[in-house]
Amino acid sequence: MEDYSKKVMDHFFNPRNVGEIEDADGIGEVGNPRCGDIMRMYIKVKENIITDIKFKTFGCGAAVATSSMVTEMVKGKNINEALEITNKQVAEALDGLPPVKMHCSNLAEAGIKAAIDDYYKKNGKGK
Amino acid sequence: MYMKELIYMDNSATTRISSEVLDSMMPYLTTGYGNPSSIYSIGRESRKAVENARELVAKALSCDTNEIYFTSGGSESDNWAIKGVAFANENKGKHIITTSIEHHAVLHTCKYLEKYGFEITYLPVKSNGIIDINDLKKAIRKDTILISIMYANNEIGSIQPIKEIGEIAKENNIYFHTDAVQAIGNIPINLKELNIDLLSLSAHKFHGPKGVGVLYIRKGVKISNMIHGGGQEKNMRAGTENVAGIVGLGKAIELATIDIEKKSKYLITLRERLIKGIMESIPDTILNGDPINRLPGNVNVCFKYIEGESILLLLDMKGICASSGSACTSGSLNPSHVLLAIGLPHEIAHGSLRLTLSEENTQEEIEYVLETLPPIIQNLRNMSPLINEK
Ligand code: FES
């Protein structure tokens, strides 16, 4: 099998921001149609800034690592910046993913978007 | 417990070559490089070595040396058996029966034959991974020319009723091929007592070298050549013999079949301890395959709510080598066809773990795995969105 980068391994073995936020302002759950994995993101938003974020992931090493990495990337960012993050950026931040694992990073991007969507819905704001 | 060495529990994938086997091969990788087809002395030495290995294989399987053909491994043997019988007998019919849990070397070969107008029946298996013999009887048609059913499954270890299948095949005058790649060296096989017409095996599954295997072809079976060229293997399989590999295979099968009952018993003891320990210490775990009719060294379980590749990475960090049928480990992103065939839903198949033992594994290693595994599973479950924190 193709190797994961050191960064992927680090985020897999020591994932950041694992868990749930009880009074989350937005929760996004996304599934990966290619292999059946699931990711759930919880965000806390204050004055348009993502002040806290947690995730839970049912998936492979790359799915866990990209979940972990994306939470680090968006924490403290404002919502518009967070929405701009792409799966490619997440993969690059991890020093790349094996080609067969690129699709796993879609979960991370989609998870953030879904959580922000949910936050908008709950707050009656349009996009 | 501190483990300095690798704990290798993926013996269905491949095994460690034994030192005795390696020693037997070395002369033919160094000074004994003669081509077995040459007439001078180092050529004749090589020929002798090949024929000696053939005798060892025939002895291990209780068949005639003329029925043993060396190949490049299990996949070639399967391809040859199925395509060779199909093309040589298509005047009699173009129907083949196999199962839905075969190795890809069989399944993809059958799929390939469909393009040439062959019709394939893929028998289902029961939830224990074993076929219903009545399904086989019902599937037989006038134009059935071949039944190809594996001896034992590589993933879940289920052992098929080979004797009965052989009898049915014989009654109906249909050739019977079995992929015995996982069975050889783990369970005793006596070809005199079984109506098997063709049997595939591969050396690296029983502490032999990679890249060499055997197709047993019962005397009188009509089969076409797959590899054309020189006159090796009695004009049936061309190509200069892999002398060192063949010698290694001979040594390995000899070692693997001496005392096989004792070895099986030992493996079953280890397996039962491992299964019991896992089932007792980890909730929401399913044992896949038949509890009794299974390969002595096969453990295959599903842990609900988590994914297999993650388990493998964490086990690897603890020095344990294992495998999984999870979609994420497959490369194709589909879960194992075997786990789906025994009726597991995708998300359950996702959390599969296979540990396959050999006689080199020890009781201490089993205990180490039983200490290491529960916290790993718990850790991953804590991260799973399928379990709600309370
Ligand atoms: S999440 Fe399934 S392959 Fe990565």
User: Which of ligand 1's atoms lies nearest the C-alpha of A100?
Assistant: 3
* Mean pLDDT of the residues in chain B: 96
Mean pLDDT of B43-48: 98
Mutation pick for ligand 1 pocket among B306, B309, B332 (CB with most ligand atoms within 8 Å) = B309
Chain A: nearest CA to B322, how far in angstroms? 13
Indicate the helix (H) or strand (E) that contains B315.
helix B308-317
Q: Rounded to an integer, what distance in angstroms lies between the CA atom of residue A17 and that of residue A41?
A: 10
Token code pair at residue B290: 């038949």
pLDDT at B334 over 90: no
**The pLDDT value given to residue A126:** 55
The 10s digit of each residue's pLDDT in B68-98 is 999 999 999 999 999 999 999 999 999 999 9
CA nearest to B324 within chain A: A60
Strand residues in chain B grouped as ranges (E) = 7-8, 68-71, 95-99, 119-123, 144-148, 175-179, 198-202, 213-217, 285-287, 298-303, 320-321, 352-356
**What confidence category does residue B390 fall into, taking pLDDT thresholds of 50, 70 and 90?**
very low
User: What values do phi and psi take at A10, rounded to 5?
Assistant: -60, -45
pLDDT above 70 as % of chain B: 98
Domains along the sequence of chain B with CATH:
7-16+259-389 (3.90.1150.10), 19-256 (3.40.640.10)
pLDDT above 90 as % of chain B: 95
User: What values do phi and psi take at B321, rounded to 5?
Assistant: -100, 125
User: B371 near B1, Cβ under 8 Å?
Assistant: yes
Output the residue whose Cα is nearest ligand 1's atom 2.
B328
Domains along the sequence of chain A with CATH:
6-120 (3.90.1010.10)
The 10s digit of each residue's pLDDT in B173-189 is 999 999 999 999 999 99
Q: Rounded to an integer, what distance in angstroms lies between the CA atom of residue B49 and that of residue B73?
A: 19
Helices (H), A14-86: 61-74, 79-84
Output the residue whose Cα is nearest ligand 1's atom 3.
B328
Burial of B303 (0-12, 13-18, 19+ CB in 10 A): buried
pTM: 0.94
Which residues of A participate in catalysis according to the annotation?
35, 104
CA nearest to A65 within chain B: B310
CA nearest to A98 within chain B: B331
The 10s digit of each residue's pLDDT in A81-94 is 999 999 999 999 99
**The pLDDT value given to residue A42:** 97
Side-chain half-sphere of A85: how many Cα atoms within 13 Å? Answer: 29
Give the single-character DSSP code of B65: G
pLDDT at B101 over 90: yes
**What confidence category does residue A111 fall into, taking pLDDT thresholds of 50, 70 and 90?**
very high
The residue with tokens 């990966």 is A32
Q: Rounded to a whole number, what is the distance in angstroms from the first to the last CA of chain B?
A: 33
- Considering only CB atoms, A15 lies closest to which of B305, B327, B383, namely B383
**Which of A8, A12, A27, A35 should one mutate to test binding to chain B, selecting the residue with the greatest count of B CBs within 10 A?**
A35
**What confidence category does residue B1 fall into, taking pLDDT thresholds of 50, 70 and 90?**
very low
